[in-house]
Amino acid sequence: MFIDRATIFVRAGDGGNGAVSFRREKYVAAGGPDGGDGGRGGDVVFQVDRNLNTLEKFRYKKKYQAENGAPGSSRNCTGRSGQDLVILVPEGTIVREAETGQIMADLSGDEPVVIAKGGKGGAGNQHFATATRQIPRFAKPGTPGENFTLQLELKLLADVGLVGFPNVGKSTLISAVSGARPKIANYHFTTLSPILGVVRYGEAGESFVMADIPGLVEGASEGVGLGHDFLRHVDRCRLIIHVVDVSGIEGRDPVEDYEKINFELRNFDEGLSARPQIVAGNKCDLATDGQVAAFRQYIEGKGVPFFPISAAAHQGLKELMQAVVEKLQTLPPVKVYETEFVHREALPADRSKYEVTREGDTFYVEADWLEQLLSTVNMNDYSSLQYFQRVLRETGIIDKLEEMGIEEGQTVDIFGFRFEFIH
Q: Which pLDDT tens digit goes with each residue over 68-86?
A: 999 998 888 999 999 999 9
Residue 174 confidence (pLDDT) above 70: yes
Residue 416 Cα to chain centre, angstroms: 39
Percent of the chain with pLDDT over 90: 38
Instruction: State the average pLDDT over residues 278-284.
Output: 94
Gap between the Cα atoms of 207 and 189, Å rounded: 28
Task: Compute the radius of gyration of the chain from its Cα atoms.
Answer: 33
User: In this structure, are residues 178 and 320 in contact, taking their beta carbons and an 8 Å threshold?
Assistant: no
pLDDT (mean) for 343-368: 79
**Cα separation of the two ends of the chain:** 69
pLDDT of 29: 63
Amino acid 84: pLDDT: 96
Output the pLDDT for position 271: 77
In this predicted structure, which of 7-21, 147-161, 370-384 has the lowest mean pLDDT? 370-384
What homologous superfamily does CATH list for 1-154?
Answer: GTP1/OBG domain (2.70.210.12)
In angstroms, the Cα distances linking 396 to 354, 355, 371, 402, 410 are 10, 11, 17, 10, 18
Q: Does the structure show a pLDDT above 60 at 346?
A: no
How much is the average pLDDT of 227-242? 77
- Range ranked top by mean pLDDT from 91-100, 150-159, 222-231: 91-100
For the 160-328 domain, the top CATH level (class) is alpha beta
- How high is the pLDDT of residue 27? 67
- The yes-or-no verdict on residue 185 having pLDDT over 80 is no
Residue scoring higher pLDDT (109 or 342): 109
pLDDT surpasses 90 at 191:
no
Q: What is the DSSP letter of 165?
A: S
Q: What is the pLDDT of residue 40?
A: 95
* C-alpha of 289 from chain center: 51
- The letter for the amino acid at 40 is R
- Measured at the alpha carbon of residue 37, what is the angle toward residues 36 and 43, in degrees to the nearest 5? 145
DSSP letter for each residue of 342-406: ---PPPPP-TT--EEEEETTEEEEE-HHHHHHHTT--TTSHHHHHHHHHHHHHTTHHHHHHHTT-
Q: With bands split at pLDDT 50, 70 and 90, how would you rate the model's confidence at 225?
A: very low
What is d(CA 44, CA 195) in angstroms, rounded to the nearest whole number?
Answer: 30
Model confidence at 226: pLDDT above 50? no
Q: Above 70 in pLDDT, residue 130?
A: yes
Residue extents of the structural domains in the chain: 1-154, 160-328, 355-420
Rounded CA-CA distance 68/38 in Å is 10
pLDDT above 60 for 223: no
Question: Average pLDDT for residues 213-223, to the nearest whole number?
Answer: 56
Residue 84 CA to residue 64 CA, distance in Å, equals: 11
For residues 309-325, average pLDDT: 93
Question: What is residue 193's predicted lDDT score, i.e. its pLDDT?
Answer: 64
- 3 state DSSP class of 323: helix
Q: Which of the two residues, 29 and 244, has the higher pLDDT score?
A: 244
pLDDT band of 202, cuts 50, 70, 90? confident
Q: Is 27 exposed, middle or buried (0-12, 13-18, 19+ CB in 10 A)?
A: exposed
Between 237 and 232, the more confident residue is 237
Phi, psi (5° rounding) for residue 330?
Answer: -100, -5
Rounded CA separation 234/193 (Å):
13
Task: Decide if 202 contacts 253 (C-beta within 8 A).
Answer: no
Mean pLDDT of 235-248: 90
More confident call, 2 vs 259:
259
Average pLDDT, the chain: 84
Closest alpha carbon to 170 in 157, 159, 183: 183
Q: Looking at residue 1, what is its pLDDT? A: 54
> What is residue 382's predicted lDDT score, i.e. its pLDDT?
74
| Span of 129-133, 346-350, 382-386, 397-401 with lowest mean pLDDT | 346-350
Question: DSSP secondary-structure letter at 260?
Answer: H
CATH superfamily name and code, 355-420: GTP-binding protein OBG, C-terminal domain (3.30.300.350)
Q: What is the mean pLDDT of residues 101-107?
A: 93
Q: pLDDT tens-digit profile of 38-66? A: 999 999 999 999 888 888 899 889 999 99
What does the pLDDT read at residue 155?
84
Residue 387 has pLDDT above 50, yes or no: yes
